[in-house]
Chain A
Amino acid sequence: MTEMRKEWVGFSPRRIWTIALNTLTESVRQKVYLILILFALVLIASASFFSQFGFGETGEQEALEQLKFIKDFCLGAISVFGMLIAIVGTAQLIPNELESRTIYTILAKPVRRFEFLLGKYLGSALLVLVSLTMMSVMFGAALKFKGDNYLRMAHESVRQAQDAGSAEDLVRQAKRIHAAVYDADLVKALVLAYMKLALLAAITLLVSTFSTSMVFNVAMALMIFFAGHLVGAAKEKWAESALARFLLALIPDLGVFNLADDVILGSTSVPWAYVGKVAAYGGVYLIAVLAAAHFIFAEREM
């Protein structure tokens, strides 16, 4: 315990930041990452070429349906590729350092294990942030490209309206399309998507503190990802069982971070207070997971 206390003495944010930037640079140079991000960007950009998935009765319905599909598809792609980048990008960090034996050189210098771990995590979180930002920008562009086409058509119809009544209805339709394209709530969905991925990266890092195989880390993180989405349903089903409650407590409820579906449907506006609560929940788990990772890593034989 005394050794652990010593870990906190002389704690240096600069060292952590250096490790984080180094981790980010290394990760970005990896072929796996480049392929993943390239594939994600191409897939998201291709959404703007969807043209046959609207089955509505009216032009407005068709436009709204089409925009819904684009948003679902893009946010789904962001979620899948974000998850893969978070897991693959983090799962290899410690095993690679051990394999190349660079970890011994780093830890031999005045770098504490905690600083090393936090630096690695921050690097990974930055990688996820950079990737998510790139994917979000591409998503915004795809949505704007498609949405602006519909808006142009809607405004043209308004110009050709016969009387004030039908013009008013067409203006209303154009407003609905505009609201579907320029929906500020999408930002809230992306904020929570990032929180989820950052938490997932921390969980993957925790797994890699006691495992030496990257494949095991990835598989374990994927299982936790799926299990995390079932926690909500499982809690309802096994509310009576103490053992189930204990096991479920180990995994954060990742389902609460999924805001995309509800934002896209737009039936109600999502309050920032809700986003704040979910972010606080994620933040508490994040700290706990990193602390747990530290306790295991601090005592790991190397």
Chain B
Amino acid sequence: MRSILIAILLLIAPSWGTLPLQQRIEHERLRLKFGGAPVTRQMRDVMGQGLAIGLLAGFRGIVADFLWIQSHSHWERKEWLQQYNEMQVVTTLQPQSVLFWDVGAWHMAWNIGYAERIDTNDYTLAQGMKREMVWHERARQFLLRGIQNLPNRYDLYFKLGWLYDQKFKDPCLAAEQYGLAAQFADAPAYVSRMHCRKLAECGKLGDAYQCWKRIWFQDHKTVPQSWGIVEREIRQIENEMDIPDSQRIFPRQLLKPEPTR
């Protein structure tokens, strides 16, 4: 009996003894955003008992992958809401995955949205278009949640900009998001070009011109960029704004007189 008591004390001791260490680990996990949300009743209903057990055993990644693959089966069977619910659970399980947010929003706005629009068996075209817009909004909300979880990655800002651009047809909101994405050092070169372009489409020609100038005055040798496209856009905007030759990056070339015969 005595040895059992000693054994119990020995087992409890590290829990109390390592309390400061445990707190530091917990603090670090929070700082590094490790783990995901705890399992709720609602999540368990969506994923089922078997997967919930897998989750409790620490297989969060596998459970999320399985649900992700399953959500695509729902898509094939046109079970949009089930797919939507599973995507919500997947992103709750692994909120730090750019892929899940990115591909999930793309499914909602492009694939499901389009499928709803052309589904004339159940709805009229007008109803279909209205339902498509609902999915665009769902994709937008989904990406906004993604950005809340991953504010330090350019990807989701860019995807939100792309959504505003392609589906909401709002160049001003798109420009804003592209601008945020372009601030990240790892953002591809085309993001900053798209930012400038959408500023021009939004009617902010002055801002767009400044934006193109910022790109142009980067070091052409070290910064990989499609300089030909940048030049073409600058020439175009300088013409549109009718900027005097002295202030242009590319002054208008004087037309040579036609040689007389």
Contacts and interface: CB of A to CB of B under 8 A. Distances in A.
B190 A57 contact: no
B226 A163 contact: yes
A284 B17 contact: yes
A227 B28 CA distance: 23
Contacts of B64: 72
B88 to A, nearest CB: 17
Residue among A252, A253, A265 with the most chain B CB within 10 A?
A265
Contacts of A17: none
Given A79-B59, A292-B7, A53 B69 contact: yes
Interface size class of B (residues with CB under 8 A): 35 or more
Contacts of A264: 61
Contact of A165 (B38, B94, B96, B229): B229
Contacts of B4: 210, 296
Interface in B28-78: 28-29, 32-36, 38-39, 56-62, 64-65, 68-69, 72
B189 A169 contact: yes
Nearest to B31: A268
A164 B62 contact: no
Interface size class of A (residues with CB under 8 A): 35 or more
B102 to A, nearest CB: 7
Given A55-B103, A233-B38, A291-B10, A267 B225 contact: no
Residue among B98, B110, B188 with the most chain A CB within 10 A?
B188
Interface string A201-238: 00000100010000000000000011001100100100
A299 B3 contact: yes
A164 B225 contact: yes
A51 to B, nearest CB: 13
Contact of A288 (B14, B65, B224): B14
B25 A267 contact: no
A268 B32 contact: yes
Contacts of B10: 288-289, 291-292, 295
Contact of B224 (A80, A165, A250): A165
Classify the interface of chain B: helix, strand, loop or mixed: helix
A79 B189 CA distance: 41
Residue among A57, A71, A167 with the most chain B CB within 10 A?
A57
Residue among B4, B17, B224, B229 with the most chain A CB within 10 A?
B224
A285 B19 CA distance: 12
B22 A73 contact: no
Report the 4 A-B pairs with minimum CB-CB distance, sorted nearest first.
Answer: A165-B226, A168-B224, A249-B15, A292-B7
Given A277-B25, A292-B6, 18 more contacts: A61-B103, A72-B65, A76-B59, A76-B61, A79-B59, A165-B189, A166-B226, A168-B189, A169-B188, A225-B57, A249-B15, A250-B15, A252-B14, A262-B32, A264-B61, A284-B17, A292-B10, A295-B3
Interface of A: 53, 55-57, 61, 64-65, 68-69, 71-73, 75-76, 79-80, 163-169, 171-172, 206, 210, 225-226, 229-230, 233, 236, 246, 248-250, 252-256, 258-262, 264-265, 267-268, 270, 274, 277-278, 280-281, 284-285, 287-289, 291-293, 295-296, 298-299
